[in-house]
Amino acid sequence: MIKEIFNNKKREVETELGFGTKNYHSSVRFLNRDGSLNIKRKIANRYAGFDIYHWLITTSWTRFITLVLCGYVFINTLFAIVYYVIGADKFGGLKMSDGIDDFLQLFFFSAQTLTTVGYGHIYPNHTIISSIAAIESMFGLLGFALATGILYGRFSRPKADIEYSNDAVIAPYQGMTGFMFRLGNKGQYELIENECELSVTINNKETKKREFHNLELERKRINYLAFSWTIVHPIDERSPLFGVTEKELLDGDAEFIVAIKSINDTISQPVFSRISYKANEVVWNAKFTPIKQIPNKDGSISIDMRDIHLIDRL
């Protein structure tokens, strides 16, 4: 049973993150490991809530480049078919041969028209072909302007490329215990004015509600995320975790929700990062292995960000 402190805690230390208080009978996760909300919204019109710009900005680079290449090939193939159906004889400079070679020449003519390169080796000598080529060039101008804008949006989108430890730990801390996790900056840019908010959500079997509690931190703000930062919540008498066992966290489907706010020094804009740790991702009686800081001959200091995940069991 969850300790009495979860029932008697004052309302001012509770928080509402927007996930409600419903007590689910099965295990749920509000935040994915990549920080995205693990909420799927269903509406009457499934296409109404789809934001194509958001998808193009946030999708992976592999998907984005594949989409651009496939779109480019599709448009050129479509116009090449139109040109081929109308007739290859309506083009000047086209060496008539078998059907496949004619189609390939028309495909490359389409690519030259779409990109407004226009080598001039093949040219339209009929009004219909000239009209279609004019429409295609307009598609090309609009399409490349759109792709350039989205490409710029992807590069200029502020982000905090933060590496989080795979697991959180509950370790000895100043004569008591503390809930801890570790993070670091993977990017070559600097993150300044870093702030952290930590909350825990847990099912209360007595009230049949899911409760949210803010967790006080040893230090919630640092100026520079130069090396790694170990976030510590001291588990003292004021903590909602005081006296709670590992089994009680697992039975209550506990989830520790992390929100990081920083300023990207390169673009001087605030950036945000989120993650959560479920109860089964918390290692008890363990501590983080110190990360080696190796001085270089030029006076700089090197660290290996892969060491951020290392823990020692006690």
> What is the per-residue pLDDT for 158?
76
Q: Cα 91 to chain center, whole Å?
A: 49
Q: Tokens in use for 193? A: 């004015």
Could you tell me the CA-to-CA distances from 281 to 96, 166, 227 in Å, in that order? Answer: 68, 8, 23
227 shares its domain with 178: yes
- Within a domain: residue 62? yes
The pLDDT value recorded for residue 36 is: 75
Output phi, psi for 249, to 5 deg. -65, -40
**Cβ–Cβ under 8 Å, residues 240 and 3:** no
Residue 189 lies in a domain: yes
Average pLDDT over every residue of 224-238: 91
Q: Is residue 167 a part of any domain in this protein?
A: yes
Say which range, 94-98, 253-257, 277-281, has the weakest mean pLDDT.
Answer: 94-98
Q: Which residues of 276-311 are buried (b: 16+ CB within 10 A; e: fewer)?
A: bbbbeebbeebbbeebeeeeeeeeeeeeeeebbeeb
pLDDT (average), residues 32-53: 71
Annotate 41-63 with three-state secondary structure. CCCCCCCCCCCHHHHHHHCCHHH
Please list the residues that pair with 179 across neighbouring strands.
Answer: 170, 233
Q: How many CA atoms lie within 13 A of 104 on its CB side?
A: 6
Give how many domains the chain has, as a whole number.
Answer: 2
Q: At residue 8, does pLDDT exceed 50?
A: no
CATH number assigned to the domain comprising residue 212: 2.60.40.1400
User: Does residue 45 form part of some domain?
Assistant: no
Mean pLDDT of the chain: 85
Say if residue 309 is in the same domain as residue 186. yes
Give the residue from 114, 129, 156 where a domain finishes: 156
Are 262 and 115 found together in one domain? no
Task: Give yes or no for residue 258 having a pLDDT over 60.
Answer: yes
Paired tokens of 211: 């409760």
Amino acid 5: pLDDT: 45
Alpha-carbon distance 237 to 209, whole Å?
Answer: 23
Q: What is the pLDDT of residue 107?
A: 93
171, 147, 166: which is closest to 276 by C-alpha?
A: 166
CATH number for the domain including 124? 1.10.287.70
**Are residue 193 and residue 283 in the same domain, yes or no?**
yes
Mean pLDDT of 23-39: 76
187 and 308, same domain (yes or no): yes
Amino acid 232: pLDDT: 94
* pLDDT of 46 over the 70 cut: no
The whole-number average pLDDT for the span 81-105 is: 85
Looking up tokens 């590069």 gives 155
Q: What is the percent of the chain where pLDDT is above 70? A: 91
Cβ 167 vs Cβ 277: under 8 Å? yes
Q: How many residues does the structure list for the chain? A: 314
pLDDT at residue 6 greater than cutoff 60: no
**What is the percentage of the chain residues whose pLDDT exceeds 90?**
42
Same domain for 185 and 215, yes or no, is yes
Q: Is residue 69 part of a domain?
A: yes
36 and 57 co-located in one domain: no
Give the pLDDT confidence score for residue 314 in this predicted structure. 79
Look at 95 and 226; give whichever has higher pLDDT: 226
- Domain stops at, among 135, 156, 177: 156
What pLDDT shows up at residue 195?
94
175 and 271 both lie in a single domain: yes
| 13 and 83 together in one domain | no
Q: State which of 108, 138, 156 marks the end of a domain.
A: 156
pLDDT at 7 over 70: no
Does residue 165 sit in the same domain as residue 302? Answer: yes
Q: Read off the tokens for 279.
A: 């109860």
In a domain, 273, yes or no: yes
Nearest-angstrom CA–CA distance, 9 and 254: 17
Given the structure tokens 């004569």, which residue do they identify?
175
The pLDDT of residue 38 is 75
Q: Is the pLDDT of residue 1 over 60?
A: no
Q: Which residues lie closer than 8 Å to 302 by C-beta, 6 or more apart?
A: 293, 294, 295, 296
The answer to whether the predicted template modeling score (pTM) of the entire model surpasses 0.75 is no
What is residue 13's predicted lDDT score, i.e. its pLDDT? 43
* Per-residue pLDDT tens over the stretch 173-222: 988 999 999 999 988 888 899 999 999 998 887 777 888 899 999 999 99
pLDDT tens-digit readout, 268-314 = 889 999 999 999 999 999 999 998 888 888 888 888 888 899 999 87
What pLDDT is recorded for position 92? 85
- Could you tell me which of 179, 289, 240, 260 has the C-alpha nearest to residue 12? 240
Q: Which two tokens stand for residue 159?
A: 């982000």
What is the predicted pLDDT for the residue at 119? 82
Question: Does residue 46 belong to any structural domain of this protein?
Answer: no
Q: Which of 17-26, 119-128, 140-149, 180-189 shows the lowest per-residue confidence on average (mean pLDDT)?
A: 17-26
Q: Are residues 201 and 227 in the same domain?
A: yes
Residues 146 and 78 in one domain: yes
Q: Is residue 32 part of a domain?
A: yes
Domain that holds residue 293: 5-40+160-313
Closest among 234, 214, 57, 231 to 146, alpha carbons compared: 57
pLDDT at 9: 45
Q: Which tokens hold the place of 238? A: 């004021």
pLDDT class of 28 with cuts at 50, 70, 90: confident
